[in-house]
Amino acid sequence: MGVQRRYRRGALLIQEGELGDTIYIVQQGRLRAFLGDDQGKELTLGIYGPLEYVGEMSLDGGPRSANVEAVEASVCSVVSRATLLAYIAEHPEFALELMGRLIRRARLATESARSVALIDVYGRLVRLLTQLAGEPDANGERVLQERMTHQTMAQHLACSREMVSRLLRDLETGGYIAVRERWIWLLKPLPARW
């Protein structure tokens, strides 16, 4: 029902503060929603892949609440507010699905705010590494399911790249993690405190 559009890696689909009345349904690739300031600091709000959507927060007529960029070459179906409302009129159960996703995103935003306000950077790093780690192998080691640069981690944790580098270096020195061919491995449970 939308217009299919292709975006190159790094393309900005949505800019915070602009008015908009469309949502973007990801068909291929991945999008990143983030906040940024004038000094270039960024906070990643989420990464969205196929069959997920972004841009729904401005369907109330208000300004866009975040920036969205293509993390990799992506294809999206761009659906207007009018088309979406017509679809909801024909399929009211979809409104419940949309509300459910909005509620989940609001809960994630609350949890993110709680983490930034109440959990130190090390605690947030442990949570991120644990969430990204796959199942243990025969040796009990777990590899992260995604390659992340120190800068990308810093954007998820609302801290500096230097802080992430220092924490990871200390964990590697302590034998808790290893970096193998640019993949981070969790070798044993991470300590509760840094």
Alpha carbon distance, N-terminus to C-terminus of the chain: 51
What amino acid is encoded at 94 in this protein? Answer: F
pLDDT, position 60:
83
* Residues 75 and 162 both lie in one domain: no
CATH code of the domain in which 87 resides: 2.60.120.10
Q: What pLDDT does 118 receive?
A: 61
Whether residue 167 sits in one domain with residue 112: no
The reply to whether 130 and 148 lie within a common domain is: yes
Residue 12 pLDDT: 96
Q: Decide if 182 is inside a domain.
A: yes
Number of domains forming the structure of the chain = 2
Q: Do 16 and 85 have their domain in common?
A: yes
Measuring CA to CA, how many Å separate 2 from each of 49, 50, 78, 80, 83? 17, 15, 5, 7, 8
- The last residue of a domain, from among 67, 88, 118: 118
Q: Which of 118, 136, 158 is where one domain is finished?
A: 118
| Residue 63 belongs to some domain of the structure | yes
CATH code of the domain covering residue 130: 1.10.10.10
37-78 pLDDT, tens per residue?
888 788 888 899 999 999 988 788 889 989 999 999 999 999
Q: What is the pLDDT of residues 12-25, one digit of tens each?
A: 999 999 998 899 99
Residues 97 and 139 placed together within one structural domain of the fold: no
> Which of 96, 118, 140 is at the close of a domain?
118
CA 50 to chain centre: 13
Q: Are 131 and 99 part of one and the same domain?
A: no
pLDDT digits (tens, 9 = 90+) for 124-148: 899 999 999 999 999 999 999 988 9
In the chain, the amino acid numbered 26 is V
Q: Does the structure show a pLDDT above 90 at 158? A: no
Global pTM reads: 0.69
- Supply the pLDDT for residue 125: 93
121, β-bridge pairs:
none
- Domain span at residue 175 reads 121-186
Please tell me whether residues 87 and 101 are part of one structural domain.
yes
Closest CA to 13 of 79, 53, 69: 69
Domain identity same for 56 and 74: yes
* 27: phi then psi, degrees, rounded to nearest 5: -100, -40
DSSP string, the chain: --EEEEE-TT-EEE-TT-B--EEEEEEES-EEEEEE-TTS-EEEEEEE-TT-EE-GGGTTSSB--SEEEESSSEEEEEEEHHHHHHHHHH-THHHHHHHHHHHHHHHHHHHHHHHHHHS-HHHHHHHHHHHHB----TTS-EEBSS---HHHHHHHHTS-HHHHHHHHHHHHHTTSEEEETTEEEE-SPPPS--
The per-residue pLDDT for range 74-116, each reduced to its tens digit, is: 999 999 999 999 999 999 999 898 889 888 888 887 887 777 6
Co-location of 132 and 111 in the same domain: no
Distances (CA, A) of 164 to 78, 127, 191: 36, 13, 16
Question: In the predicted model, is pLDDT for residue 117 greater than 70?
Answer: no
